[in-house]
Structure 1
Amino acid sequence: MNERPSRHVIRPSGCPGLLRVVQALDGGICRIKLDGGSIQADQAEAVALVAERFAGGVIEATNRANLQVRGIGPERDALIESLLAAGLGPRNPAGDDVRNLMLSPSAGIDRRMLIDTRPLAEQILTTLQTHERFHELSAKFAVQLDGAEALAMLEHHHDLWLSALVRDGEPWLAFGFAGVPLDEPAGRVPLAQGHALVVAVLELFLDLARPDQNRMRELLAEFSADEFVTLLARRVPLQPCPDWRRVASTDGLHIGIHPQHDDGVFVGAVVPLGRLDAAMLRGAARLAREKGDGSLRFTPWQSLLLPNVRADNAAGVLARLQALGLLVSGDQPLAQLIACTGSSGCAKAMADTKADAHQLAERLHRRGQALNIHLSGCPRSCAAAHIAPATLLAVAPGRYDLYFRDATLPGFGALQAHNLTIEALDHWLDAHPRSPLDA
């Protein structure tokens, strides 16, 4: 059993939280959940300080737009108290696990948004943390609130998703279960009923689910979605949403310089393989304070944004982010690669995925290619909450099976090659110039 701070009663779980430090090969892991992926500059500096003082100095940007501190030593209580003092904890200790609400990284500033999701998000997050019954939800149970932004992660499955639309000049929310906003919706409610809908869905889920059914997909595997909606309609008025389809998001908006809804721009840069050190995070915080609005936004693409930057300052901000070691162009091969912790920090990993990803990036750079590839140390796919176009699944140190995404197949998709080294993948690419990777 992991040590726990004496002043906080935390339920057992394998998932790290701010109040629950989980042990890994490289030390303890503390996960800091950020409201809508946003963090203030002084809070970011606090994370950098505790990573240096109480851990190995490694800070991870996660695919749910949160932060993790790795390599935590025996002073975990001091680390937790420092983060709580910085205002990074939950409103209620028992509510830390359930504050899983994903927004667009450009919520409130996106040029294509239909609504500013942040006021409703604040309502939902408060309720998740303070409604005692919701503390029964799994630490993996997650909600997505989508304002129809151009910059939005639409591939991560959520237990409940809500997506903005406009009918007759009025804002509504389409919604669905165990999927993504690109799916066919289960119905719609007026925007003003969005909070009531979330509460009703979560309460109905808890009423119906057995103790072993932690996720909506598990409940719906034996209790049909139509039955669920029928019962839900008794709690909150619903309307059908037959002809609505979410327009796909725009690729690449999480990196570079992009105009906002009003004045100014946001500037994005990718965290190399999802890992920051304290100097990088501290430098980005300083930039946010000097050239932005004093905040940073982390993204599901393991990148960060500086919002509300003056357009005439944007190029300089991008250059300074690059000088800190962040990736500022999608043409950089490392900016397109995803890799899990790997065998250097995880006992389940079959290979050192981070080191192999760096080797792969060097080879791709020599080829003049930047390919979207996910390196996973084991089948759990911790680094990617969606199926990447190509996955290298480790089978032994330095060796991988290559898969291409195929919507008709489960898991990573269709197996293309077995037991490849990174060097052998280079030769495989030469021999298959018409593969989906080169499309």
Structure 2
Amino acid sequence: MTQVTETSTTPGAADRTPRRSAKPHGQWKVDGTAPLNHNEEFKQQDNGLNVRERIEKTYAREGFDSIPSDDLHGRFRWWGLYTQRKPGIDGGKTATLEPHELEDRYFMLRVRIDGGALTAEQLRVIGGISTEFGRDSADITDRQNIQLHWIRVEDVPEIWRRLESVGLSTTEACGDVPRVILGSPVAGIAADEIIDPTPVIRQIAQRYIGDPELANLPRKFKTAITGHPSQDVVHEINDISLVGVVHPELGPGYDLWVGGGLSTSARLADRLGAYVSEERAAEVWLGVVQIFRDYGYRRLRNKARMKYLLNDWGPERFRTVLEEEYLGYLLPDGPPPAPPTRPGDHVGVHPQKDGGYYIGAAPVVGRMSGTRLTALAELMERHGSTRLRATPHQKIVVLDVARDQIEAVAAGLAELGLDSAPSVFRRSTIACTGLEFCKLAIVDTKDTAAWTIARLEDRLADVADRMPDRLSLHINGCPNSCARIQTADIGLKGQLLPDANGGQTPGFQVHLGGGLASSDRETAGLGRTVRGLKVTADGLVDYVERLIRRYDDERDQGETFAYWAHRADEESLR
């Protein structure tokens, strides 16, 4: 039997006697539960999950004007609902108008899809909801959800009824709760899988999503679980991640990571050095969430994420608290994940362990429509597939394709604008919602990205055969990094720049050479910024073309863009 060893701790790490600071952080186990701001007040006054009854019985009947502010701008999030941006308000007014002046009377509705797993039937239902209630809108997000827009509160009960009739929901798709569980898009089917995370994802979702005891966290809590060697769930930037490993004595299980997150203060997660078996994974997950609930910072909302707690505690103390206060047992030490064997976006045709194939395809930055989702469901069923996965890279993966159906399915996907052999630019570009719908955005993202991809494909056709498989371009409409700009080869943070006429024009601050260990362990880390390096939206294509040509000219044999970007002089990056 393997000896279970206790993690070494730094001096004083085990001394966790609560101490009050001069200015409390709002940690429940240290400072008590008295709310220190209005956000904490409304959560204590009424659990966010309770708003569903009011939506169904009151607001859907009496309309938008009947919704009080704490429900509209707060508790609605617990059921995947945000008011969307009113059309026609430019980015220069984002910071000057009040929220009620920015918002429309329509909602973004986020369908929660743990592990990104969908059936053709579920896809058809979402497509039908989009075309009937959402003006044919649908986006695949980089959290494996599908977002719809133009939703009226009057239609929400019927939308819930349809979703729940096929096993889907919007429960805790947003809010200060455990949000969607990122899962390997090829869970249970990949021929080279280390461990299938499906049972753990299902157990967590069934036991804990919608649990009132976990529905008042300091802020959102993000989970990622994978058993695939490509490490395909961007585990380094989640609050908790379980990454498949093989322990030399205990066999396949998970390596535990905590405390990652981006936004305006980026931090990569810490490995705790702990091995987690499949049997214990759900209770370890619960322990980590409870630590965040009980010790997370609540006084200032911009500090109310797990990463700030890890930054202060460190991984050794966190592991000790987890084991001694929440689990009641020590976790074995375990090995780190092996370097990834291939890209984790799963684009292309790949063998399944059962003899079938899966096909990963790229829409343009996740932009779909209800009509296309319905057509995709029909395409799948015509060729004998009933299962689909969304990916954390705004892609889709069709499962269970027979060998003799590969060409037909790939051709059908292409007709729907889903390319299974995309250019490096289409494959590796992601974009957030942007100015079109988001109240926080400053610049457009989706249309800017589509326009940029098309022109780069044309202008750089002469060097396409020398480009790497991945060269990530991430476009974000504001500083909050929903599109993970700090971890991209080329990350673009939306902002307004001065123009030649004394006014302002949409543009971007440029981050270069970011990456995760799951894409390139040698250059894993947050992107480099060059002082004053900004580009207008109109000049974006020219800049990216110039940058890639310089990379092509200056790089060493086999050198990645990220590695080159970190060693290049500043002039080469301008």
TM-score (norm 1): 0.87
Structure 2 residue aligned with 1:33: 112
Q: CA deviation at 1:94?
A: 11
Task: Tell me the distance in 2 between the aligned counterparts of 1:189 and 1:115.
Answer: 12
SS at 1:273's partner residue? coil
TM alignment of 1:155-194, pairs within 5 A: 157-166=237-246, 167-168=248-249, 170-179=251-260, 184-194=271-281
Equivalent in 218, 221, 234 of residue 141 of structure 1 = 221
Aligned AA (1:219): L
Q: CA deviation at 1:14?
A: 8.4
TM alignment of 1:77-156, pairs within 5 A: 77=156, 78-89=158-169, 97-129=177-209, 131-137=211-217, 140-150=220-230, 152-154=232-234
Confirm whether residue 203 of structure 1 aligns to residue 318 of structure 2.
no
Equivalent in 445, 464, 479 of residue 379 of structure 1 = 479
Structure 2 unaligned blocks of 5 or more: 1-41, 43-50, 60-70, 88-105, 262-267, 497-504, 516-522, 552-560, 565-574
Task: Tell me the distance in 2 between the aligned counterparts of 1:427 and 1:331.
Answer: 19
TM alignment of 1:235-254, pairs within 5 A: 235-241=327-333, 243-248=335-340, 250-251=342-343, 253-254=345-346
SS at 1:179's partner residue? coil
Contact 1:154-1:182 at 8 Å conserved across structures = no
SS at 1:136's partner residue? coil
Question: Quick one: structure 1 residues 381 and 15, their matched pair in 2 at CA, closer, same or farther if it must change by over 3 Å?
Answer: farther
Which structure: larger Rg? 2
Structure 1 residue aligned with 2:393: 301
Question: Quick one: structure 1 residues 93 and 331, their matched pair in 2 at CA, closer, same or farther if it must change by over 3 Å?
Answer: closer
SS at 2:290's partner residue? helix
Task: Tell me the distance in 1 between the aligned counterparts of 2:138 and 2:259.
Answer: 30
Task: Tell me the distance in 2 between the aligned counterparts of 1:409 and 1:154.
Answer: 12
Confirm whether residue 6 of structure 1 aligns to residue 53 of structure 2.
no
Structure 2 residue aligned with 1:394: 494
Q: Deviations over 1:150-174 (max 9, x none)?
A: 3613355111111222223633322
Equivalent in 413, 418, 433 of residue 528 of structure 2 = 413
Q: CA deviation at 1:66?
A: 0.8
Q: CA deviation at 1:137?
A: 2.7
Q: Which moved more, 1:275-284 or 1:364-373?
A: 364-373
Task: Tell me the distance in 2 between the aligned counterparts of 1:95 and 1:16.
Answer: 5
Structure 1 residue aligned with 2:34: none
TM-score (norm 2): 0.68
Confirm whether residue 361 of structure 1 aligns to residue 462 of structure 2.
no
Q: Deviations over 1:343-379 (max 9, x none)?
A: 2323433322222222212221222157521222211
Contact 1:98-1:138 at 8 Å conserved across structures = no
TM alignment of 1:312-323, pairs within 5 A: 312-323=404-415
Q: CA deviation at 1:339?
A: 2.2
Q: CA deviation at 1:427?
A: 5.6
Structure 2 residue aligned with 1:66: 145
Q: Which moved more, 1:410-419 or 1:218-227?
A: 410-419
Task: Tell me the distance in 2 between the aligned counterparts of 1:193 and 1:320.
Answer: 42
Task: Tell me the distance in 2 between the aligned counterparts of 1:272 and 1:424.
Answer: 17
Task: Tell me the distance in 2 between the aligned counterparts of 1:114 and 1:372.
Answer: 26
Equivalent in 330, 334, 338 of residue 426 of structure 2 = 334
Pick the structure with more helix per residue: 2
Q: Which moved more, 1:299-308 or 1:250-259?
A: 250-259
Structure 1 unaligned blocks of 5 or more: none
* Residue identity (%): 25
Task: Tell me the distance in 2 between the aligned counterparts of 1:57 and 1:91.
Answer: 22
Contact 2:349-2:359 at 8 Å conserved across structures = yes
Task: Tell me the distance in 2 between the aligned counterparts of 1:409 and 1:293.
Answer: 37
Contact 1:400-1:421 at 8 Å conserved across structures = yes
Confirm whether residue 276 of structure 1 aligns to residue 363 of structure 2.
no
Contact 1:189-1:238 at 8 Å conserved across structures = no
Q: Which moved more, 1:157-166 or 1:21-30?
A: 21-30
Q: Which moved more, 1:147-156 or 1:38-47?
A: 147-156
Equivalent in 53, 58, 73 of residue 132 of structure 2 = 53
Contact 1:19-1:80 at 8 Å conserved across structures = no
Aligned AA (1:204): I
Confirm whether residue 227 of structure 1 aligns to residue 317 of structure 2.
yes
Aligned AA (2:286): V
Question: Quick one: structure 1 residues 41 and 391, their matched pair in 2 at CA, closer, same or farther if it must change by over 3 Å?
Answer: same
Question: Quick one: structure 1 residues 249 and 221, their matched pair in 2 at CA, closer, same or farther if it must change by over 3 Å?
Answer: same
Aligned AA (2:56): S
Root-mean-square deviation (CA), in Å?
3.5
SS at 1:207's partner residue? helix
Q: CA deviation at 1:61?
A: 0.3
